[in-house]
Structure 1
Amino acid sequence: MMLSRSCLVYRPRPISRNIPKRFQSAQAATAQTDRIPLPAQDAQVSKLTSGLTIASLENYSPISRVAVIVNAGSRYESTKNLGSSHCLRAFANLTCTGASTFSITRGLEAIGATLEATTTRDHLLYSIKCLRDNVDVAVNYLTSIAGGQEFRRWEVNDSKYRVDLDLALAEVNPQIDVMEKLHGTAFRGNLGNSLFCPKYMLNEFTPDLLKEFVDTQFTAENMALVGLGVDHDTLKAMGEKLSVNQGCKVNTVSKYYGGTESRVQNNNSLVHAALAVQGAGIHSEDVLTLSVMQYLLGPQPSIKWGSHMATSKLNQAAAKVTQSPFHASCVNMSYADTGLFGFYVLGHASEMESVLKATMGQFGGLTKGNIDENDFKRAKNQLKSSLLMKCEDQESLLESVAVQSLSTGAYQPIESVLAKIDNLKPQDAVNVAKKVFNSKPVMAVNGDLGNTPYLDELL
C-alpha cells in the first residue's frame, strides 16, 4: 500500500519525552549482552506411520522455510508423459483442494510469503518462505498444493504459456541445449529425459495425464516434508494433514552408455562443447573425491568474468594453445544412482580442435598421478569453503536437508563431511580418476563444427 503525501505528518515532541526511552534502550542493549546464546540444534529426521518423512533443522531464524520434496523429477517420466515434471513446476499455484489460484496468491501475499517450485532430474520441490509466526498458514497452503491438485481443464490450458515461455528461453541458450544433449547421449531414458517438456507434448497434456503422474509419484513413501526454523514436533503435526496415497517408494536405475556423441551444426562462430564420463551418485564413496578433483581441474570462477588462471588446470592447458577468448570449467553432476564428470568448453570455432585436445589431456594427467600436494590441498580448501557457504545460504541448506532425508532417512552434519574431505589424499584422486576414466566418454557440441573433432578423434 502506498502512502500519499497528506499521510506523512510531522508532529514535533519535547526532547525530554525521549530521554527515558533512551535509557531503557541502553539497559535493554546491556541485558542482551548478558543473554545465554541459544544452543545449536542438529537436524531431526523421523517417519510418520503413513510413510511420510519429516525433517527439520531449528536455526532460530525469524524466517522459516518449509518444503515438500517428491521423487518426481524428469527421470520418472515415460514416453507417454514426457514433460510432466516441467508442467507440474509451471502449474504449482493452480487450484487445489481447499484453495483456489486466487486464494493461494492472495493468501501468501497477505502473510508476506513466497512460493517456489523447482525440478531436477531426481526431484520436484515445492517450497514456501515466510515469517516464523506464519509457518502454520504456509504449511497449510503447501500441503494443499502438494496433496490436492485438481488440474481443472481451463486452468491447465490457460497456464501452458508458462511452459512455452520456458522452452523459448531454452532454445536461445546453447549451454542448456548442450547439457541436455549430453544427458540424452549418456543415458537412454531415465536420466536422459530432458528437464524441459518436448514441444510436441505440450498440447497432449490433459488433467487426466497429469493426475495419473501425480497419483503414481506423490505417495507418502516417495515424499518428505522439510523445514528450517521450524520445531520438529510442530512439523510432524502438520505432516499428518498431508493427504497423499499410500504406496512403495519408486526407484529407477540408470544405465550409462558411453562412446556416443551429439552434434548440432549451425552458423554460430562460438562452439559450446561438453565431454563427460560416468561419475558418482550422491551416495557413492567417490563423490567427495570427484568434488575435490573438480576444484583441482577448475570449476566456475569465483569472480564474475574471472578466469582463475592461476589455479585452473583446464584454463592453463587451453591458454597454451589459443590466443582467443575462451571458457573452460570442470563439471560434476551427481544424481541418486550415478553421475557425470567432465568439462565444458566455449571457444572460437576455428580453434576448437586444439582447445579440446588440450583440455582432454588434463584428464589423462590425473590418471598418471600428476597431482601436486599443494594443489590438492588448495582444492580441498576450496571445496570446504563452498560447502560452508552453501550452509549459510538457506535455500541451498533446505534443499540439502530435503534430498538427504528423503534419500537416506538421515542428515549428515557438515562437520563429518569436512572431516572426510580432510582425510582425502592425492592417491585417492588418482585411483578414482583411473576408475571413472576407464568408462567411454560422451560428448555434445553446438556451433560451427568444421574444426571441432569427433569423439573418436579426441580419444
Structure 2
Amino acid sequence: MPNNKKNVTIVLISYDNRTQAPIALSVLGEIVQPAIKPWDIFEVHKGLEIDLEHQTAEDITFENLHRAAFRNGSLANQLLCKSYEIGSDTNVGHKRLQSYVLSRWKSAETALIGVNIDHSLLLEYAADHRVVPDGAGHPANPSPFLGGEVRQFGPGKLAHIAIVGEGAAFKDEKAVAIQSVLAQLIGKTGQYTNYQNIAQPSIVHRTLFKAANHNPFHLSQVNISHSDIGLVGFYLVAEGEKIFPYVKAAVQGLRELAEKTVDQELIQIAKQTLALQTLSKFDSSELLALDQASQVMAKGAAQSPEEFVNIVQSVTAEDIKKAATKLCAKLALSAYGQINQTPYLDEI
C-alpha cells in the first residue's frame, strides 16, 4: 500500500474473451469491495520488505527526485512504505487500509474502461451492478513545484543524476504534447521500432559528447506528467569521479534549448519519433486501457493515440522554446551513488 501520494491510481485488469466478459466484470466488482483483515497485512509484510531491499539505483533516484522537486507536498511521498512503517498498526495497519478504501473507492473516483468489448455491455454492467458507492473522495492537496536537491550516497562507482524543471499537467493535452517533443530533443531522437534503432544524438547529447571525451555515459529523457503538474529534464549515469563536467554540460544543453531556436529538421525528427513510439506502444490493449483510464481519472475524458499524434504535429519551435524556458527557470536535482564529484545546483 503506498503512502497517501497524490492521485495514486489502483488498476484492476481482467483478460478474457468477449463471451466471458460479464463474468469478468462481476469478479472485478467483487474485488473493489475488500474486507481487509489483520492477517491480510501480515501476509504482505515480507513482500514489502523484499520490495524495499530490491529497489534499483534508478528507483531511488526518481523517488528522491520527487522529494527534491515537491519537498513537503503530497507528490514528494514515497511510493513504498518506509521500513519502520511496515507492520505498524498506526501507520499501515488493516484499519487504515480499510479507511483508505472507503474514502477513495467512490463512483466519482472510478473509471471502467474496456478494450475490444462493446460499449453498451460496459454501460449495462455499470447500471446493473453499482458495486462502487456513490460519492467523491477527498480532493488532493496541491503540490507545487518548488525545486531543490536531494543527495544520497550509495554503493558502486556510478553516479545517478536526475535534473528536471517544472513540466506539463497531464490534464493539459497541448502542454503534454509540447513537453513530449521537448523530451525527445533532450534524449535520443531517431527511428525506434521493435526491430531497429537508428537513433540520432540530441542537442543535450551533443554537449555531453564533448565533455565526456569518449568516456561512457548514459543519458535519457525524464518526461513525467501528474494530474496538475509535471517534470521534464534528463537522467544521467556515469562514473562518479568524472561526473562534474558531464552534469554541467547537460544543463548547458537544456539552456541552449531555452535560448536558441531549435532547427526545424530536428523538431520534425522528434515529432516523427514520438508519433512512432506512441502508436507502437498502444498496440498493447493493456497499455491502451491503462492510458485511457489515467486520462479519464485526470481530466474526465480520454483522447486516442491518433488524436495525441495530431496534437504533436501542431507543436512549433516557439512552443518548445517556451517549455524549455519554463524548465530552466527553476531546477530540481537528485543524486545517488558515488556522488562526491556531483555539482550542487548553485554550481551549475
Counterpart position of 1:275: 163
Q: Does 1:225 find its partner at 2:112?
A: yes
Counterpart position of 1:437: 328
State the Cα deviation string for residues 131-155 of structure 1 (Å, max 9, x = none). Answer: 2221112111111111x10112223
Counterpart position of 2:59: 176
Within 2, Cα distance between the matches of 1:338 and 1:381?
25
Counterpart position of 1:422: 313
Q: Secondary structure at the match of 2:211?
A: coil
Count of aligned positions = 338
Q: Which moved more, 1:371-380 or 1:228-237?
A: 228-237
Q: Percent identity?
A: 25
State the Cα deviation string for residues 83-134 of structure 1 (Å, max 9, x = none). Answer: xxxxxxxxxxxxxxxxxxxxxxxxxxxxxxxxxxxxxx63111111122221
Match of 2:8 among 115, 122, 125: 122
Within 2, Cα distance between the matches of 1:246 and 1:457?
53
Q: Does 1:262 find its partner at 2:153?
A: no
Q: Which moved more, 1:312-321 or 1:220-229?
A: 312-321
Within 2, Cα distance between the matches of 1:309 and 1:453?
29
Counterpart position of 1:134: 20
The 1:279–1:254 alpha-carbon spacing in structure 2 relative to 1, beyond 3 Å, is same
Superposed counterparts of 1:347-386, under 5 Å:
347-386=238-277
Deviation at 1:410, TM superposition (A): 2.3
Within 2, Cα distance between the matches of 1:248 and 1:140?
22
Deviation at 1:203, TM superposition (A): 0.7
| TM-score normalised to structure 2 length | 0.90
The 1:303–1:352 alpha-carbon spacing in structure 2 relative to 1, beyond 3 Å, is farther
Match of 2:204 among 294, 314, 335: 314
Q: Secondary structure at the match of 1:275?
A: strand
Superposed counterparts of 1:138-157, under 5 Å:
138-146=24-32, 148-157=33-42
Match of 1:238 among 125, 128, 147: 125
One-letter amino acid matched to 2:339: L
Q: Does 1:294 find its partner at 2:180?
A: no
Deviation at 1:73, TM superposition (A): 7.0
State the Cα deviation string for residues 261-307 of structure 1 (Å, max 9, x = none). Answer: 11112452110010111111112232111100111121599489x99
Deviation at 1:417, TM superposition (A): 2.2
Deviation at 1:308, TM superposition (A): 6.3
The 1:307–1:443 alpha-carbon spacing in structure 2 relative to 1, beyond 3 Å, is farther
State the Cα deviation string for residues 58-95 of structure 1 (Å, max 9, x = none). Answer: xxxxxxxxxxxxxx975547xxxxxxxxxxxxxxxxxx
State the Cα deviation string for residues 183-216 of structure 1 (Å, max 9, x = none). Answer: 0121123111111111111112322111001111
Q: Which runs of 5+ in 1 are unaligned?
A: 1-71, 78-120
Deviation at 1:249, TM superposition (A): 4.5
Q: Secondary structure at the match of 1:437?
A: helix
Q: Which has the larger radius of gyration?
A: 1
The 1:368–1:189 alpha-carbon spacing in structure 2 relative to 1, beyond 3 Å, is closer
After superposing on structure 2, the runs of 4+ consecutive aligned residues of structure 1 that deviate more than 6 Å are 306-309
State the Cα deviation string for residues 388-417 of structure 1 (Å, max 9, x = none). Answer: 112211111101211222333322233332
Q: Which runs of 5+ in 2 are unaligned?
A: none
Q: Is the 8 A contact 2:2 2:80 kept in 1?
A: no
The 1:373–1:75 alpha-carbon spacing in structure 2 relative to 1, beyond 3 Å, is farther
Q: Secondary structure at the match of 2:11?
A: strand
Q: Which has the higher contact order (CA 8 A, sep 6+)?
A: 2
One-letter amino acid matched to 2:185: L
Deviation at 1:157, TM superposition (A): 1.0
One-letter amino acid matched to 1:168: E
Match of 2:293 among 390, 402, 410: 402
The 1:326–1:381 alpha-carbon spacing in structure 2 relative to 1, beyond 3 Å, is same
Q: Is the 8 A contact 1:73 1:124 kept in 2?
A: no
Q: Does 1:197 find its partner at 2:81?
A: yes
Within 1, Cα distance between the matches of 2:189 and 2:318?
25
Q: Which moved more, 1:155-164 or 1:214-223?
A: 155-164
Q: Is the 8 A contact 1:266 1:447 kept in 2?
A: yes
One-letter amino acid matched to 2:295: Q
Q: Secondary structure at the match of 1:151?
A: coil
The 1:210–1:300 alpha-carbon spacing in structure 2 relative to 1, beyond 3 Å, is farther
Counterpart position of 1:91: none
The 1:222–1:309 alpha-carbon spacing in structure 2 relative to 1, beyond 3 Å, is closer
Counterpart position of 1:447: 337
